[in-house]
């Protein structure tokens, strides 16, 4: 093949190739692509979903209710992305006679897991023992802590509180045990027991039955 023929073939290919590309592009029709981007678990619209066209710089964004509508081309691959959801794809088919297409694009939620983070106010956990020993506590907070741990106050509050389920169960089991112990016979009465009367007289002399004043409640704001 001579150099002249080679030049002729190269020139012919250079002219026919753009025409073939234009003809191929002419076969792909514009399509009005509309629909909703919805969550697969709740069937609620996903706001502001980004819809990109693969291989191009063209993109669209769904509305706050998940609705979208834009012009695309047959054969385009659409990429749906949104934070908190897996990426999904949709391929626009060829030979759409009406040049319109409406879809409901379901997207699946995606859970993100992160490693546990522990925040220390001392910069490093090794500084905790030193900070625990040498940290100065404000006097007002120490006064509140001392009043809240006052034994007389805690005892008074404990007497005023109703018994819980555990205490009620324990008392009932004790009563049942006492009944079982004296089953079939008369239980003893301490009113006729001289030792019990002696202990009662001693307690009366000591003033165990005098009413004690309740400790004052703390007046600090918590």
For residue range 179-193, list pLDDT tens digits in order: 887 777 777 776 767
Would you call 117 exposed, middle or buried from its count of C-beta atoms within 10 A (0-12, 13-18, 19+)?
exposed
Question: Residues of CATH 2.60.40.1120 domain(s) within the chain?
Answer: 3-107
> What is the predicted pLDDT for the residue at 1?
52
Least confident interval from 18-22, 95-99, 216-220: 18-22
Contact between 125 and 58 under an 8 Å Cβ cutoff? The reply is: no
pTM greater than 0.75 = no
Residues 172, 170: Cα–Cα separation, whole Å: 5
What is residue 13's predicted lDDT score, i.e. its pLDDT?
A: 46
> Edge-to-edge strand order for the sheet containing 88-91?
59-61, 50-53, 77-81, 88-91
Fold (topology level) of 3-107: Immunoglobulin-like (2.60.40)
Q: Cα(216)–Cα(52) distance, rounded to whole angstroms?
A: 71
Q: What is the mean pLDDT of the chain?
A: 79
pLDDT, tens digit, for every residue of 135-165? 777 777 778 888 888 888 888 887 788 888 8
- Of 29-43, 72-86, 114-128, 204-218, where does mean pLDDT reach its minimum? 204-218
Res. 200 pLDDT band, cuts 50 70 90: confident
* CB-based burial, 156-173: b 16+ in 10 Å, e otherwise: beeeeeeeeeeeeeeeee
């Amino acid at each position: 093949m001579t150099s002249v023929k080679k030049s002729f073939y190269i020139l012919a290919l250079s002219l026919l190739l753009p025409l073939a590309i234009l003809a191929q592009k002419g076969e792909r029709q514009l399509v009005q692509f509309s629909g909703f981007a919805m969550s697969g678990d709740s069937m609620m619209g996903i706001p502001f979903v980004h819809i990109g066209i693969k291989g191009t710089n063209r993109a669209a964004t769904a509305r706050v209710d998940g609705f979208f509508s834009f012009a695309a081309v047959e054969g385009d691959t659409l990429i749906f992305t949104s934070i908190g959801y897996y990426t999904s794809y949709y391929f626009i088919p060829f030979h759409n006679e009406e040049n319109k297409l409406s879809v409901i694009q379901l997207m699946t939620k995606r859970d993100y897991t992160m490693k546990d983070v522990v925040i220390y106010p001392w910069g490093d956990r090794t500084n905790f023992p030193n900070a625990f020993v040498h940290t100065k506590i404000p006097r007002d907070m120490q006064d509140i802590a001392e009043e809240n741990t006052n034994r007389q106050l805690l005892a008074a509050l404990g007497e005023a509180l109703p018994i819980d389920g555990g205490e009620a169960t324990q008392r009932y089991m004790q009563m049942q045990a006492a009944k079982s112990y004296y089953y079939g016979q008369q239980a003893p009465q301490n009113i006729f027991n001289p030792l019990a009367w002696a202990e009662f007289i001693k307690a009366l002399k000591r003033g165990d039955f005098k009413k004690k004043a309740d400790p004052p409640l703390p007046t600090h704001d918590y």
